[in-house]
Structure 1
Amino acid sequence: MSTSSQFQPLVIPRDSDGFVKSFTLSNYNCPTASTARAFFQEYGFVVIANVYTPEQCNDTISDIWNVIESFVGKPVQNNEQLWNQKLWTRTGIIEEGIIGGGSLWTRQILLNRQTPALHTAFASVLGTENILVNQDRYGMFRPSKEHPERSTMTNLHLDMNPWLYIDQEDNSEQLKVLGELNYDSDDDWITENNEPGCSKVGELHVQGLVNLADNLEEDGGFWLVPGFHKYLTQWADDHRHL
């Protein structure tokens, strides 16, 4: 029997407004943090609310546009006619909505990265305040309902090799790759992100993204399959032909 016939995505708890249930954390050891961690362990993801203030969100949105305009070489924020494919190819990986080819290092990104509430969110999921983080980039999706050429690709994006993850006996390959990084290129931070080690070691590596505005299902963008983390090993074993 195939994995697809066995696996059924979990039904996600929602709030009264229809959004996925979220958690607001006061600190790493608060009772809600334990509840959020249990949610993560069950569903494979968790939504932490109010990590950034409205002011931080607005400042970050402004910074995203500053980065985009630095890439395209002209002001485009208030002129949607300039959000065309020719200009947008300069912004990064447009088929995935990624801004920047490598990691970005703006002042706002560095301030965001040091936000105590962001640390609390990751610490609560990981179960420790001693965490090591990498440096990534922005995501930006242009409205595509009336412009289908702007649509991003539909793909399974794991940021890792699942077959190496389940087959390797130890982290020697991960340590080899990381040991060869010189960090003389922004791409090295992306390579670092894609090396989670192997399942047999039992380390927990997580990724997070920060939504700067309410995200509805019909908006598209990021997809996930609730509960799939418990079936990843079986799925990878069943799909070695990919």
Structure 2
Amino acid sequence: MLAGLRINVLETLRYLHHQQPSYTQFEAWIWERNDGELKEGSLDRLRRALAGGAVGAEVGNLDGVEGLSEDDLVHWDEHGYVILRNAITPEAAELAETAIYDFLGMDRNDPESWYRQSLGHSIWVPLLRHRALAANRRAPRIHKAHAQLWGREDLWVTIDQGGFNPPERKDWPFPGPHLHWDATLAEPHCLELQGIVYLADVDEDQGAFSCVPGFHRTLTQWLKSVPEGVNVQDHARRTLTMKPIAAKRGDMVIWHHLLPHGSSPNRAQRPRVVQYMSLRPTRFSYTREWKS
């Protein structure tokens, strides 16, 4: 529902917790967040989906849209991640990259500006609604690829943030996130997808997204091998090795949420600039118990 209303989960929870609004105030806040961009057609699609009706892809008919190839799908099954090449155009990626630099008050050609307090000691950029980022969420190839992986087209794209990971230096060590899961490790293990769009070329040593390929296939057995009383996340960080995933401007890395993953230290000369994005169907199986 929040994705359909084009609002971010964390910002919504913060607003409800701190402001404790009336229904009317909450409705007005949602309209304010959307700044007139939430159209009646989108609301109608959301109403029909929530009522149990069938809805198609948000971006229209996907039949003629090129998505993942057969080789891509084989790679997905084996490794649990895939690179969607040219998910958005290089021009669209550069517009979003520029939006992030502007939001942070940084100059892409001035390395000293990359460490301003506007970023803080974090790689997260809380830019949610710039038009360039919104346009990327409607990219047909992104919707097609996720429809292939989910096996359905009634998908809803998250309103997620950007990322800026500058090269490490003495006064700015890599802050993480290190290897982790954003998923419950309790069974049953269900499908869910996560994604990151590279807004500029990213080499392996440039703070690339990293994961443990194929781990979604062996997670159940691996969990049985964790010594009793040992924290699973700590054990994973000590014993597992992540692979950095390099890709080009406009490419999107999509991964199974059961892959342990994280960012990596940037030891190159340029920042890693990205946009996070996930697509999920109206209803899907998930595990209610949270176990980390």
TM-score interval for Structure 1 and Structure 2 normalised by the shorter chain: 0.5 to 0.7
What residue in structure 2 maps to residue 99 of structure 1? 125
| 1:41 and 2:82 aligned | no
CA contact (8 A) 1:28 1:124 kept: no
| 1:160 and 2:183 aligned | yes
The residue type paired with residue 158 of structure 2 is: N
Instruction: Give percent identity, aligned residues only.
Output: 27
Give the alignment's TM-score, normalised by structure 1. 0.59
Which shifted more, 45-54 or 150-159? 150-159
What residue in structure 1 maps to residue 101 of structure 2? 65
Give the alignment's TM-score, normalised by structure 2. 0.50
What residue in structure 1 maps to residue 9 of structure 2? none
The one of 75, 84, 89 equivalent to 1:53 is 89
What residue in structure 2 maps to residue 224 of structure 1? 211
Show the 5 A alignment for 1:71-110.
Answer: 76-84=107-115, 86-89=117-120, 94-95=121-122, 97-100=123-126, 104-110=128-134
The one of 137, 141, 165 equivalent to 1:117 is 141
- The superposition leaves residues 15-52 of structure 1 with CA deviations (integer Å, 9 ceiling, x where unpaired) of xxxxxxxxxxx968879534322211111101110111
Is the strand fraction higher in 1 or 2?
2
- Mapped to 2, the partners of 1:160 and 1:27 lie a distance apart of 32
CA contact (8 A) 1:28 1:123 kept: no
Judging changes above 3 Å, is the alpha-carbon distance between structure 1 residues 31 and 105 closer, same or farther for their aligned structure 2 residues? Answer: closer
Is the helix fraction higher in 1 or 2?
1
**C-alpha RMSD of the superposition:** 2.8
The residue type paired with residue 57 of structure 1 is: A
CA contact (8 A) 1:45 1:226 kept: yes
Q: Report deviation, 1:226.
A: 1.1
DSSP 3-state at the match of 1:61:
helix
Q: Report deviation, 1:82.
A: 3.4
- The superposition leaves residues 127-177 of structure 1 with CA deviations (integer Å, 9 ceiling, x where unpaired) of 222223322111111122x54624233622211232xx32xxxxxxxxxxx
Show the 5 A alignment for 1:129-144.
Answer: 129-144=153-168
- Mapped to 2, the partners of 1:112 and 1:31 lie a distance apart of 15
DSSP 3-state at the match of 1:47:
strand
DSSP 3-state at the match of 1:140:
strand
- Mapped to 1, the partners of 2:136 and 2:65 lie a distance apart of 22
- The alignment covers a number of residue pairs equal to 168
The residue type paired with residue 124 of structure 2 is: I
CA contact (8 A) 2:66 2:144 kept: no
What residue in structure 2 maps to residue 180 of structure 1? none
Which shifted more, 31-40 or 59-68? 31-40
CA contact (8 A) 2:79 2:213 kept: yes
Which shifted more, 31-40 or 221-230? 31-40
Judging changes above 3 Å, is the alpha-carbon distance between structure 1 residues 32 and 137 closer, same or farther for their aligned structure 2 residues? Answer: closer
The residue type paired with residue 183 of structure 2 is: M
Q: Report deviation, 1:108.
A: 1.6
**Consecutive unaligned residues in structure 2, runs of 5 or more:** 1-61, 232-292
CA contact (8 A) 2:147 2:153 kept: yes
**Consecutive unaligned residues in structure 1, runs of 5 or more:** 1-25, 70-74, 167-197
Judging changes above 3 Å, is the alpha-carbon distance between structure 1 residues 228 and 109 closer, same or farther for their aligned structure 2 residues? Answer: same
What residue in structure 2 maps to residue 213 of structure 1? 200
DSSP 3-state at the match of 2:200:
coil
Judging changes above 3 Å, is the alpha-carbon distance between structure 1 residues 110 and 148 closer, same or farther for their aligned structure 2 residues? Answer: same
- Mapped to 2, the partners of 1:214 and 1:111 lie a distance apart of 20
